Amino acid sequence: MGDRIKIDAQDLHYKDLNQKIHDALGSGGKDIELSHVNGQRYIADGLKNDIRMTINGVPGNDLGIFMNGPVITVNNNAQDAVGNTMNGGKIVVRGMAGDVCGYGMRGGKLFVLKDVGYRVGIHMKGYKMLNPIIVIGGNAGDFLAEYMAGGVIVLLRLFGRQNGDSTTGDYLGAGMHGGTVYIRGGADRKKIGKGVDVAELTDADHGLLKGIIREYADDLGLDADKILDGRFEKLVPLSTRPYAKLYTY
């Protein structure tokens, strides 16, 4: 892995910070640690390198946008739009994350320890070998998996929300037409969007879920068996082409 390159992000604008990251990669760096990060946007924007990055502090919006390769660990909360249109690699957030995380995500993994905000995983998609995965340890705001077209979202609800109720959010999977959402503790039928159905897990689902949860628990220091012990339901789209007849008939 080589030496760890440390970058102090204190008071740096995101452009200067990203330049320092590029400089570090240019000098052969494979392991980068950022400290005093606070709100800088677009960190690791579009990076294709096979590297590790550790972030101390709260990264700004669009962390890992268009990223395709790096493995990023955030030792704190993250803000909105983490993993926006991400193509590959992994982002592990050891706190909570904001709205629209994993927007249009097409590959890679996003693991969040605690709650996420609204519209997480919307327009997420998969194609052949690309199968994006989002795992949320806490609860989700409304519109989780809205317009989802592929990939996997796992909602664990291991912790209560700050303000009480443990939730999947409303309009869950609204407009979904591909991919799968696994929900620990089951889905509230009143909170499900149109066009989705709730189903029991098959053996294949259990196999897939076990692999994902083991990796997630490993990354975040949780007990995988305890998590897998819960009852899961899955959300699947009723149709892969809900609007097939809209323009043709």
Partner 1 sequence: MGIKSSTPYGKDYGGCGLVGIIDRSGRSVSGDMIVSSLTSMKDRGNGLGSGYAVYGAYPDLKNSFGMHIMYNDISARGPVEELIKTKLKLVLAEPVPVKKIHAIPDPPQFWRYFVDPPATIDKTDEDGIDDLIVSVVMDINERIDNAYVVSSGKNLAVFKGVGHPDAIAEFFRMQDYSGYLLLGHTRFPTNTPGWWGGAHPFTILDWSIVHNGEISSYGTNKRYVEMFGYKCTLLTDTEVVAYLLDLLIRKKGLSLTAAASVLAPPFWKDIQEMEPLKKDYYTALRMCYANASLNGPFAILMGFDNGILGLNDRIKLRPLIVGRKGDIVAIASEESAIREVIAEPDDVWAPKAGEPIIVTLKEDAKH
181 token code pair: 């959402």
Quick check: 80 binds partner 1 (CB under 8 A)? Answer: yes
Q: At 196, which amino acid appears?
A: V
Within a 10 A sphere around the Cβ of 230, how many other Cβ atoms? 14
Site for partner 1 in 149-168 (CB under 8 A): 162-163
Site for partner 1 in 115-144 (CB under 8 A): 115, 117-118, 141-143
Quick check: 41 binds partner 1 (CB under 8 A)? Answer: yes
Rounded to whole angstroms, the Cα distance separating 96 from 20 reads: 26
Quick check: 38 binds partner 1 (CB under 8 A)? Answer: yes
Site for partner 1 in 187-226 (CB under 8 A): 190
Q: Which 3 state secondary structure label does DSSP give 198?
A: strand
Quick check: 232 binds partner 1 (CB under 8 A)? Answer: no
201 token code pair: 């897990």
| Residue 76 C-beta: closest distance to partner 1, Å | 9
Between the two ends of the chain, the Cα-to-Cα distance in Å is 58
Quick check: 11 binds partner 1 (CB under 8 A)? Answer: yes
Please select the residue that binds partner 1; options are 35, 58, 88, 195, rule is CB under 8 A: 58
Could you tell me which of 46, 95, 43, 93 has the C-alpha nearest to residue 73?
A: 93
Please select the residue that binds partner 1; options are 72, 96, 155, 172, rule is CB under 8 A: 96
Quick check: 180 binds partner 1 (CB under 8 A)? Answer: no
Element (H, E) at 203: helix 203-220
Q: At 166, which amino acid appears?
A: S
Quick check: 15 binds partner 1 (CB under 8 A)? Answer: yes
171 token code pair: 């309009």
| Residue 38 C-beta: closest distance to partner 1, Å | 5
Element (H, E) at 152: strand 149-155
Interface positions with partner 1 (CB under 8 A) = 11, 13-15, 38-39, 41, 57-58, 60-61, 77, 79-80, 96, 98-99, 115, 117-118, 141-143, 162-163, 190
